[in-house]
Amino acid sequence: MTFHKNIYINGAWVPSGGDTSIEVINPSTEEVIGSTPRGVAADVDTAVAAAKAAFGPWAALSLEERLGYIEGLAGQLGARMEEMGALISSEMGMPTMLANMIQAGLPTATTGSVPGTARAFAFEEDLGRTLVTRDPVGVVACITPWNYPLHQIMAKIAPAMAVGCTVVLKPSEVAPLNAFLLAEIIDGLGFPPGVFNLVSGLGPEVGEAMAAHPDIDMISFTGSTRAGTRVAEVAAPNVTRVHQELGGKSANIVLSDADFSAAIPGAVNACFLNSGQTCSALTRLLVPADRMDEAAELAGQIAAGFTPGAADGEGTRLGPLVSQAQWDRVQGLIQTGIDEGATLVTGGTGKPEGLDVGYHTQPTVFANVTNDMAIARQEIFGPVLSIIGYSDDDDAIAIANDSDYGLSGGVWGTDPDRALSVAQRLRTGQVDMNGSILNTDAPFGGYKKSGNGRELGRHGMEEFLEAKQINLPAG
């Protein structure tokens, strides 16, 4: 049980101006495991003022001085990885072993890579008679989601602080406890007051106050396309820079020469990781139409092996969905797929047998899906795979690109030149070939309604900088 009464502003734990709290629910047990303050706009004003005051002195430090703090933070995240993994598992439901590796391990590695990226970054560039400098953008508001909560926080705040920005963080109210543990770590490391600030609360209250604030220089947002659109709308009158990493409905193309025994299990894994609650999940599986039955049978067998259960349960491969609201949404879309005439291969509506408590759902596979069905167009955010048939490579590419989104994608094939050619024609920000995985030094982000801007590595660091040209006198 972790009940937080204060928020973190200007290097101190202080009461929120609000008088209520938000309960945090363990999705495996449906029990309250903690709470955080329900912040208000006045808290945002105080936090932004602290960040603004701290910006000048923090930006004036040498790069090495700032990186010393980031390296200390990476070290502490590593030292407390199991504690953090267990906490996040209890908040949002990823099986504990996976949470230790992914929910705690990935942000630790990402944070640890920032100093090297910063040291190699060209903060100055000589263009003949012009010196181009890269300056920190200023005060950055970071609004983060619940599905990979700490990773999305560190992908924003670590590079932002490294280059000289100060930050105000609003974590998701669904899984905020990890952000409070992070603030405790930062406080213990002695970061200068105001460099990092934490205001918990709801999006329509705290998030909108951040987006509308005239002293916020940049907003880095990860979440739904609907919410991201609202952030941009509210930020527009101040012409605030907005970085958005939003939704996805990504296609995984299995070419006719692919090894199905590797491709189909890999495709199911790429859809079901984190119970399907991944923005870059490969939720549309495209296979040659004449091999639909073969692909469906194999996918159904693999999906049936994803044992649902409590996040801390022995043998659990599929944890619960994060909330009752998310469970209701996924159930509704599964029923829509049935109503639309897709072939239900395995799974379906209702909870798995014997799991009446917790927001558990059945691992579900649909075959004979067409790309105009709701389950092929809407982001479900649950363990639901839609298998779509195609006639040839051109048809597969057309189906994959026929989406409002463009965050991720996949291609499977034994001819590397053919697979690469298909990957290059996909209108998406990331393509995994033959089950390859995320490179945290490469740019991550999407096309179309999946957002704008990039995170991670050199490209992600550049998002927190402004370019300035200084024209030097001749001679």
Token match 């008088």: residue?
Answer: 19
Q: Which residues are catalytic?
A: 245, 279
Q: Which two tokens stand for residue 229?
A: 């659109």
d(CA 77, CA 430): 27
> What DSSP string describes 22-43?
EEEEETTTTEEEEEEE---HHH
pLDDT of residue 254: 98
Residue 374 identity (one-letter amino acid): A
Q: Rounded to an integer, what is the distance from CA 320 to the centroid of its chain?
A: 18
Rounded to 10°, the helix 81-92/105-120 angle is: 120
Which residues, including other chains, have CB under 8 Å from residue 310's CB and lie 6 or more apart?
A: 28, 29, 316, 319, 320, 358
pLDDT at 1: 79
State residue 474's pLDDT score. Answer: 84
For tokens 């291609």, the residue is: 411
Gap between the Cα atoms of 163 and 190, Å rounded: 18
Give burial (CB, 10 Å; 0-12/13-18/19+) of 14: middle
Q: Which two tokens stand for residue 246?
A: 């939003």
In the prediction, which pLDDT does 68 show?
98
Please give the pLDDT value at position 437.
87
CB atoms near residue 400 (< 10 Å):
28
- Quote the longest CA-to-CA distance of the chain: 81
424 token code pair: 């290059």
pLDDT tens profile 297-355: 999 999 999 999 999 999 999 999 999 999 999 999 999 999 999 999 999 999 999 99
Q: What's the rounded Cα separation, in Å, for the pair 36 and 365?
A: 37
Asked if residue 296 lies in contact with residue 348, where contact means CB atoms within 8 angstroms, the answer is no
Can you name the residues that pair with 367 across neighbouring β-strands? 343
Which stretches of the chain drop beneath a pLDDT of 50?
A: none
The domains of the chain, with CATH numbers, are: 2-246+450-471 (3.40.605.10), 251-440 (3.40.309.10)
pLDDT at 142: 98
Tallying the residues shown for the chain, one arrives at: 475
- Smallest CA-to-CA distance from 36 within 12, 1, 77, 86 is with 1
Tens digit of each residue's pLDDT (9 = 90 or more) over 430-447:
999 999 988 999 999 999
